[in-house]
Amino acid sequence: MTQLLNLQPAAAATLQKWHEMMAKLDLSDLPLIVHPEVTFRSPLAFNPYASVEAMVMALQTVVTVFSDFSYHREAATDDGLSVVLEFSAKIAGKGVKGADLIRFDTEGRIVDFEVMVRPLNGLIALSEEMGKRMGDRMPSYKAKA
Amino acid sequence: MTQLLNLQPAAAATLQKWHEMMAKLDLSDLPLIVHPEVTFRSPLAFNPYASVEAMVMALQTVVTVFSDFSYHREAATDDGLSVVLEFSAKIAGKGVKGADLIRFDTEGRIVDFEVMVRPLNGLIALSEEMGKRMGDRMPSYKAKA
């Protein structure tokens, strides 16, 4: 794993752990690297979720929906506290591209995690597959934005 | 305009021109900073467009669809040849977030431009508004990916 030159060391260590979790498709240790009041911004809904439980539930479900998942370019902000991870995957056979926009605090904890996915038909497929798997198990939105 | 530390000078100069065009909402000079065979990846369709004309037409239409457009975080890859620009906007009254993923060649020309938008209802609104404005004026897809 290359390390982003610009990223602060604590954030880089967290990013490394994130990649290890994603390689195993097991996000159960996510609370160890996430701020308890993390803001999670789904590609499906505008209002963010404001809990680590919601983030774990959503992402653990997402990894079962994606197949052929790969990360590509990584970009860092000049303050060394945000990264963007470009990815590709398939959802129900449809090719998608996406990006994770992740902000860390100075202790390296993830404080904001935003996911974007294109194109439209892939995002609709994601919505359908998430609905099948999660039903109404997702906690209510807490609007923060 | 802050300049991304990591970005190669030719790419940084192009990014500066891009921001000047977006500030004026006038993309008519876009061909001056874009490779003639640029790959443009819309948030709506998976297959990319492989022409600068299609990119100009699409983006010039997009800027009439967005209101309250603002850029936020900027991130650069370690090779200094890609940036990600985070943005927010409104489409038909709906709040959206998005990202431009831009790759430059060593001469600073844009060779790949990808746009992602969330959430789903905002992306659907974008599709509807683009359809109203462009109809079938968009050239046929050229599948490159």
Contact B110, B31 (CB under 8 A): no
**pLDDT reported for residue B4:** 78
Nearest-neighbour CA in chain B from A115: distance (Å): 8
Of A105-109, A112-116, A127-131, B97-101, least confident by mean pLDDT is A127-131
Per-residue pLDDT tens digits for B90-109: 999 999 999 999 999 999 99
Residue B13 CA, distance from chain mean position: 16
Pairing of strands A82-91, A94-104: antiparallel
Give the closest residue to B20 by CA, choosing from B94, B71, B74. Answer: B71
Per-residue pLDDT tens digits for A81-97: 999 999 999 999 999 99
pTM passes above 0.90: yes
**pLDDT reported for residue A5:** 78
| Contact flag A96-B46 (C-beta cutoff 8 Å) | yes
Contact B119, A114 (CB under 8 A): no
Which residue has tokens 């994603």? A22
Q: Once rounded to an integer, what is the mean pLDDT over residues A23-40?
A: 94
**pLDDT reported for residue B143:** 44
Q: Distance between CA B132 and CA A70 in Å, rounded? A: 35
* B130 reaches A (C-beta below 8 A): no
Indicate the residue type of A84. Answer: V
Residue A145's CB is within 10 A of a number of other CB atoms, namely 10
Q: Distance between CA A11 and CA A32 in Å, rounded? A: 13
What is the three-class DSSP state of B67?
Answer: strand
Contacts of A2 (CB under 8 A, 6+ apart): A74, B78
Q: Once rounded to an integer, what is the mean pLDDT over residues A24-37?
A: 94
**pLDDT reported for residue A145:** 43
Q: Once rounded to an integer, what is the mean pLDDT over residues A12-21?
A: 97
Which residue has tokens 């479900």? A61
CA atoms within 13 A on the CB side of B59: 25
Say whether the ipTM exceeds 0.95. no
pLDDT at residue A139 tops 60: no
B70 versus B5: the higher-pLDDT residue is: B70
CA atoms within 13 A on the CB side of A17: 17
Nearest-neighbour CA in chain A from B57: distance (Å): 18
Per-residue pLDDT tens digits for B2-37: 567 789 999 999 999 999 999 999 999 999 999 999
Q: Which residues in chain B are contacts of A92 at CB distance < 8 A?
A: none
| Contact flag A5-B6 (C-beta cutoff 8 Å) | yes
